[in-house]
């Protein structure tokens, strides 16, 4: 159940709280390094397969993962103006994901007024709340690609396409070595880092307002009332 925080009578109170946390993947999937992959291909591969080997030693899992940081900050100011308690609150949440380019930002503002009228015979609750959420969901297909892609290829192509990332590469030959799928004939493969950079962004805005009235329950009629 969600409850709305309200102001209280008395001196104005300014409060601030923050929470900071971090998370990361517990273990990477074991794969061959670039040197190990080149050595294996040179020992059992064909000349055309050896020819497409790169000179890099790329750990694609390290390239797509990061330490995720979450910061949740809350600021509020509350008090009472005569017979009207009030509270103003603001929140900012920033959260990144363990997959690079994945993140969530949320900003929220709330105002609560609880005036008591007619010698406390009428109580009104006015709550205003608005939030704006910006989120970016990274392409999770990069996770599988990071495990299966050729570790001898570099992250950056040296060209302007895909922001300098080696986004598309054409490899010849089809071979699978120790369960590591490397390439298909005539098929373009997205490198894991370029794939992770392909994210879907969202922005959501949620306005909300509630007004409640309450009055004392009238006393029951006398027993002899007719």
Q: pLDDT per residue over 169-219, tens digit each?
A: 433 333 333 333 333 333 334 456 655 555 555 566 666 667 666 656 666
What's the rounded Cα separation, in Å, for the pair 221 and 27?
73
146 token code pair: 């990071």
Residue 84: pLDDT above 60? Answer: yes
Supply the DSSP symbol for 33.
-
Q: Distance between the two ends of the chain, CA-based, in angstroms?
A: 43
Q: What is the pLDDT of residue 139?
A: 82
Mean predicted lDDT score pLDDT of the chain: 76
Contact 50, 62 (CB under 8 A): no
Q: What is the mean pLDDT of residues 76-94?
A: 91
Alpha helices, H only, 112-182: 141-148
Delimit the domains of the chain by residue range. 13-24+31-214
Higher pLDDT, 87 or 158: 87
Task: Output Rg (C-alpha) for the chain, integer angstroms.
Answer: 30
SS3 of 57, please? Answer: coil
* Predicted confidence (pLDDT) at residue 61 exceeds the cutoff of 50: yes
What was the pLDDT predicted at 16?
96
């Amino acid at each position: 159940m969600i409850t709305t925080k309200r102001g209280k009578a008395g001196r104005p109170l300014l409060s601030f709280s923050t929470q900071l946390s971090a998370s990361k993947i517990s273990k990477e999937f074991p794969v061959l390094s670039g040197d190990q992959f080149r050595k294996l291909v040179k020992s059992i591969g064909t000349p055309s397969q050896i020819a497409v080997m790169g000179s890099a030693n790329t750990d694609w899992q390290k390239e797509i993962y990061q330490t995720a940081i979450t910061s949740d900050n809350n600021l509020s100011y509350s008090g009472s103006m005569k017979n009207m308690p009030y509270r103003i609150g603001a929140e900012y949440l920033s959260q990144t994901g363990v997959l690079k380019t994945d993140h969530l930002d949320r900003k929220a503002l709330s105002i609560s007024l609880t005036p008591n009228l007619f010698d406390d015979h009428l109580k009104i609750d006015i709550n205003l709340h608005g939030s704006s959420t910006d989120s970016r969901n990274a392409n999770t297909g990069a996770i599988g690609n990071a495990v299966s892609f050729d570790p001898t290829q570099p992250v950056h192509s040296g060209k302007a396409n895909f922001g300098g990332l080696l986004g598309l590469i054409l490899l010849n030959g089809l071979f699978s070595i120790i369960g590591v799928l490397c390439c298909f004939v005539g098929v373009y493969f997205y490198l894991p880092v370029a794939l992770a950079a392909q994210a879907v962004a969202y922005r959501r805005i949620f306005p909300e307002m509630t007004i409640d009235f309450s009055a004392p329950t009238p006393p029951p009629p006398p027993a002899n009332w007719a």
